[in-house]
Amino acid sequence: MFDTLSDRLSAAFRGLRGKTRLSDADIDATAREIRLALLEADVNLTVVKEFIAAVRERAHGAEIHAALNPAQQIVKIVNEELIGILGGQARPLRYAKRPPTVIMLAGLQGSGKTTLAGKLGKWLKDQGHSPLLVAADLQRPNAVTQLQVVGERAGVHVFAPEPGNGVGDPVLVARNSILQAMSKLYDVVIVDTAGRLGVDAEMMQQAVDIRDAVNPTEILFVVDAMIGQDAVNTAQAFAEGVGFDGVVLSKLDGDARGGAALSIARVTGRPIMFASNGEGLGDFDAFHPDRMASRILGMGDLLTLIEQAEKTFDAEQSAKAAQKLIAGKGEFGLDDFLQQMQAVRRMGPLSKILGMMPGMGQMKDQINNIDEREIDRIEAIIYSMTPAERANPKILDGSRRARIASGSGTKVSDVNSLVNRFFEARKMMQSLAGGGMPGMPGARRPAPKQQAKKKKGTHKVSGNPARRSGGPAAPAAATPPPAVFGQQVPSDADLAKAVGEFQLPPELQQLFNPKNTGPR
């Protein structure tokens, strides 16, 4: 959603690179570019004016930090101001001192309230709560059925005493849901109400009646992030008519300009609490203004990436795989490789995962062109192998590879490519697990050889009995280099040569440049 805005902001900062100081003309030109970028993103005009005024004032009076160049200083200012208009800091969900906690969802027709109710229910269940979804939208056709289907998929119970489709009293359903939650020991109640417009006085009054009947702990206004300025106007109408405590942004994965997300918190004075960025029930999480600002500026979102990895990866399984790597006896096979690859896939599309990494904003075209079906082909090839072949890919001869290619619907060249890449990756991971590459931080260095000093007039006595007796010395046992998964480990000189020849893309080289210590 914010790709266009990110590109425009990056272009504005690019003109500042190489400057040792910022003139007033530089600051004004950059502020003008940022202003155009925000207006093209459909950000509210009042918000844009306040934002540009704050950036220009801070840039004129800023003392350039010794560790930051002028361009980085402007990025730092813009980042902090973006965090400000997005709400400043994350506001957690409030819970009632005496259960159940009642959360009322309100919003426009088609904003995605019913689906979001299921996502919120699943999120609360993962947090250790026992939520209950309430079908109080009795106006829209099949709204009750949709909530029941979503609740079943999320593993959350649904209270739906009325069939809907214009039949039933939504206020009575909402009131009875509280009694149901108290009797069945649900600690959170999520009330899904009908969509309404700010100009519809009758429907707005119904929302007020439901609010008064259930006395909600939180009223969340669900807004479609793709509708632009109208979202701000509708939010203001709801704030005046019903009132709400926080905002939930839906459809953040869309391709619209995203101005609503940058406007609604500042205009309404209510924080953005949650964001939905996909169609899956798991594509939902708490909203963090600092992380969103970082993503808009192309600096990635490592904290969210780490949190998703912690929720997705099995710690015990990963530890076993690491032990197999460290053992170096060929125990790490294609089954372990497949498990790790599937864990990465459960985190979401590869393009989304790579987009959260710092510095990847300049490689959007390459990331967007990633073929997700390649993982399907890899899975098909591995599943076409026998357990023995997965455990020890070295036994794969020509006939076996032909059989695997036929069984997976691929070519023999595809099987060869997968096996070769697996061996190379396994060798590299083993090298890193064994102490890192030579010259890299944390790499183990060989202990210096101790040379015995010879004293004048002394004769060194051999420790070999045959040599002491004058006979032929017994041949010393050759010490073979350590083997890794049955393969020869390259020497330090070979690894150092490989590291010297390895060239990162220019965008990634900047990430590892020790001079770039400030925000980019």
256 contact partners, CB below 8 Å, separation of at least 6: 1, 42, 225, 226, 227, 228
pLDDT higher than threshold 60 for residue 432: yes
Alpha carbon distances (Å) from 378 to 109, 151, 336, 397, 417: 43, 34, 13, 18, 10
How confident is the model at residue 226, as a pLDDT? Answer: 73
C-alpha to C-alpha distance for 190 and 184, rounded to whole angstroms: 15
Quote the pLDDT of residue 220: 92
Distance CA 283, CA 75 (A): 29
pLDDT score of 402 more than 90 = yes
Report the pLDDT value the prediction gives residue 303, as an integer from 0 to 100.
Answer: 61
Tokens linked to 13:
């900062």
Write the DSSP assignment of 137-171 as a string of letters: --SSTTHHHHHHHHHHHHT-EEE--S-BTTBS-HH
Q: How confident is the model at residue 519 (pLDDT cuts 50, 70, 90)?
A: very low
Q: Please answer whether residues 474 and 464 qualify as being in contact, where contact means their C-beta atoms are separated by less than 8 angstroms.
A: yes
Q: Are 95 and 189 in contact (CB under 8 A)?
A: no
Instruction: Give the residue among 194, 178, 116 at the shortest CA–CA distance from 151.
Output: 116
Strands 101-107 and 218-224: parallel
Between 507 and 156, the higher pLDDT residue: 156
- Percent of the chain, pLDDT > 90? 18
Name beta bridge partners: 188.
101, 131
Q: What is the CATH number of domain 330-433?
A: 1.10.260.30
- Residues ≥6 apart with Cβ < 8 Å to 317: 339, 343
Rounded CA separation 311/414 (Å): 32
Beta-strand pair 188-192/218-224: unpaired
User: Which tokens hold the place of 59?
Assistant: 């840039």
d(CA 460, CA 454): 8
Which of these, 312, 311, 245, 303, lies nearest to 273 by C-alpha position?
245
> Which CATH topology does 3-85 take?
Four Helix Bundle (Hemerythrin (Met), subunit A) (1.20.120)
Q: What is the pLDDT of residue 378?
A: 87
276 vs 133, residue with greater confidence: 133
Phi, psi of 260 (to 5 degrees): -60, -40
Regarding predicted confidence, which is higher, 4 or 30?
A: 30
Choices 1.10.357.10, 1.20.1260.10, 3.40.50.300, 1.10.150.120: CATH for 101-299: 3.40.50.300
Q: Is residue 449 over pLDDT 60?
A: no
| Residues whose CB falls within 8 Å of the CB of residue 98, separated by 6 or more in sequence, listed in order | none
Q: Which amino acid, 405?
A: A
E strands, 292-394, in order: none
pLDDT, tens only, 468-485: 545 444 444 444 444 433
Q: Looking at 19-23, 134-138, 421-425, which range is the least confident one?
A: 19-23
Considering only CA atoms, which of 393, 397, 390 is closest in space to residue 412?
397
The Cα–Cα gap between 491 and 154 comes to: 53
Give the HSE-up count for residue 361: Cα atoms under 13 Å, Cβ half-sphere.
23
| Paired tokens of 1 | 């959603």
Least confident of 60-64, 173-177, 443-447: 443-447
197: Cα separation from own chain's centroid: 34
| Percentage of the chain modeled with pLDDT above 70 | 65
Is the distance from CB of 71 to CB of 10 less than 8 angstroms? Answer: no
For CA atoms 62, 63, 69, 75, the dihedral sign is negative
Q: Residue 460: which pLDDT band, with cuts at 50, 70 and 90?
A: low
Mean pLDDT of the chain: 74
Residue 95 — very low, low, confident or very high, per pLDDT cuts 50/70/90?
A: very high
For position 202, what pLDDT does the model report? 78
pLDDT of 310: 64
> Is it the case that residue 404 has pLDDT exceeding 80?
yes
DSSP secondary structure string, 209-252?
Answer: HHHHHH--SEEEEEEETTSTHHHHHHHHHHHHHT--SEEEEE-T
Cis peptide before 438 (omega within 30 of 0): no
Could you tell me which residue, 357 or 278, shows the higher pLDDT?
278
Single out the residue of 373, 262, 329 nearest to residue 35, CA to CA. Answer: 262
**Number of neighbours of residue 325 by Cβ within 10 angstroms:** 19
What does 108-145 look like in DSSP terms, one character per residue?
-TTS-HHHHHHHHHHHHHHTT--EEEEE---SSTTHHH
Among the ranges 87-91, 228-232, 328-332, which has the highest mean pLDDT value? Answer: 87-91
**pLDDT exceeds cutoff 60 at 255:** no
> Quick one: average pLDDT of 358-362?
57
Tell me which of 319 and 421 has the higher pLDDT: 421
The pLDDT-based confidence of 455 (bands split at 50, 70, 90) is: very low
> Both tokens of residue 64?
């350039």
Token reading at 377: 């082909």
The two most distant CA atoms of the chain are separated, in Å, by 112
Answer whether residue 412 shows pLDDT above 60. yes
Of residues 103 and 479, more confidence is placed in 103
What's the CA angle centered on 307, arms 304 and 310, to 5 degrees? 150
Residue 329: pLDDT above 70?
Answer: no
Q: What is the pLDDT of residues 267-316, one digit of tens each?
A: 888 888 888 877 788 888 888 888 777 777 766 555 666 666 666 666 66
The residue among 180 and 258 whose pLDDT is bigger is 180
Instruction: Reply yes or no on whether the pLDDT at 41 is more than 50.
Output: yes
User: pLDDT digit string (tens) for 116-125?
Assistant: 999 999 999 9
Integer angstrom CA distances of residue 178 from 118, 170, 205, 507: 18, 13, 21, 55
pLDDT of residue 461: 52
Q: Average pLDDT, stretch 497-501?
A: 46
pLDDT at 367 over 80: no
Residue 251 pLDDT grade (very low, low, confident, very high; cuts 50, 70, 90): confident
Question: Which residue ranges make up each domain of the chain?
Answer: 3-85, 101-299, 330-433
Whether 79 contacts 71, CB under 8 Å: no
